[in-house]
Structure 1
Amino acid sequence: MQKDPEEKFSEDPDENLHIENQLLKLKMQAESNAVIVTDHDMPPDLEHLFLKNVQQWEDAYKNVKPIKVYDYIKRPEYRQEESLKDEEIPGELERITEAMKLNNICLHVQGKYDPRIIYRFITKELFEYETDDMQFPGMTQNFTYEEFHPNHQLDIQRRTMDFFEDWFERKFNEYSWELNDVFILPEGLSLSKQEVLDRIQKVFEAYTLFSNVQFAFGEISFQFDDTHGTGLGHSEGIVKYSAMLENGENIRIEGPFKLYMSHEYSWWNIFYFVFPGFVWG
């Protein structure tokens, strides 16, 4: 016997909607192995809207077809990069990126590049790139230039800034992804990430606060093997900061820093460092 679509599970509207939501979760799990977890404090009507949106996305994805980005944004007219003078590039770049945004495609550029390089990338590479032909209200497909053309110098600088943030906020932990799983010391000794974290924690326990931070980069250098996607690099410079002891006394710590990094699995991380206020011995 089929259930009357107008029949209710409960006289309480919220409870009725809650039961419908649970059944919808079970249906989605059975059809696509999707395990949907929502906040138990979420109002039933909002949860229902969320589940319906997820189901709509899942249904659309089953039949999704690839489409070139240029076709996705409805093939706007554009001028070939070779025909543009340098002074014309910024205006044409703004025009084409605006056309992309109007059709829910957004390009993020993390580094600083000549506008001609970005215009060439969009019209020669990104337009030819195939994406999923899916469009929903409010949905934007995001691309990052550096995903196509990695900027290793920028990545090394960012890992350095990640290290600085964790050091000066005294919050290194097992989720500090800028640190390698294995550290190699100059004498050949290897330490696990946890052993390094323990040594760092001993430094943190000696102070209550780091403040008045100043730093300057001196050099960022790397060697990269494009064939294997591996590399070695480092960042170095000068850093100064104040460290407060438990008695309230501030001591000034300063000196050169140098962070040694390796690149594996599309990620730069630190396998050894020299940093003022920290000693390995």
Structure 2
Amino acid sequence: MATNTFILVLSCDDKPGIVAAVTTELAGLGANIAESSQFWDRHTNSFFMRIAFQAPEGMAGDDVERALQPAIDRFQMRTTLTEVARRPRIVILVSKFDHALLHLLYQIRVGWLNAEVVAIVSNHEDSRRTADLEAVPYHYWPVTKTNKAEQEEKLLHLVQEAGADLVILARYMQVFSDTLSKRLYGKAINIHHSFLPSFKGAKPYHQAHERGVKLIGATAHYVTPDLDEGPIIEQETERVSHALTADDFVASGRDIESRVLARAVKLHLERRVMLNGHKTVVFS
């Protein structure tokens, strides 16, 4: 997008005049709207909106927020205004399997993902060489029953100190505590190597193979205290057959996981995902 571009996302109870109020104020500023999407959830009477717009050169976010304040107050909106030129900062967590991590790093390198990796955290040493090649700080923090709370506090401190906007669990095989999940709510994305809600827990592809499924897949979702049940952002499936082995399932799954996680991260970073209770509104 052009310089001095902003993304505004908002939600509130649905009432007549919301779109008109926001767009009128933006027009008054001399802003040019590039994208606009909205959704009305009839069951909860909740309204969601995402607008990308170019403001006049030199206009700051504070100026935009002041202009929008009357509309925000009138409709009791919950809003977030993001400057597109600012690169989001992310922390990636990984264990032994690094395919999702490598795919994220590649998509950032080629510019498809607009983000800066400020740290890679792992409970294994396996990805240190990758971090060194990318010139990203690597934190090896083994997790045991006795030090789990301490390691989670270190992670929170790292996120705050680095100013990270998002934490990504790229096949990080550790379960967050309820406390950490709540503190990172809406800011931590996990990739589950199966098609939720089926086949939770360990070796889901082997479970799927034993059940003779015809579709496998992956699910990217926000982390919540309910294990693997957070609001879903993105999913993908692939057809399989009885002729494939469990290892074939795993190989296909690795590709799906990498793609799904990268797409979910992109949607989040571009402010296209809005939480709606246990679900999400995703503006593509």
TM score, norm. by length of structure 2: 0.24
Larger RCO, structure (CA 8 Å, separation 6 or more): 2
Q: Which has the larger radius of gyration?
A: 1
TM score, norm. by length of structure 1: 0.24
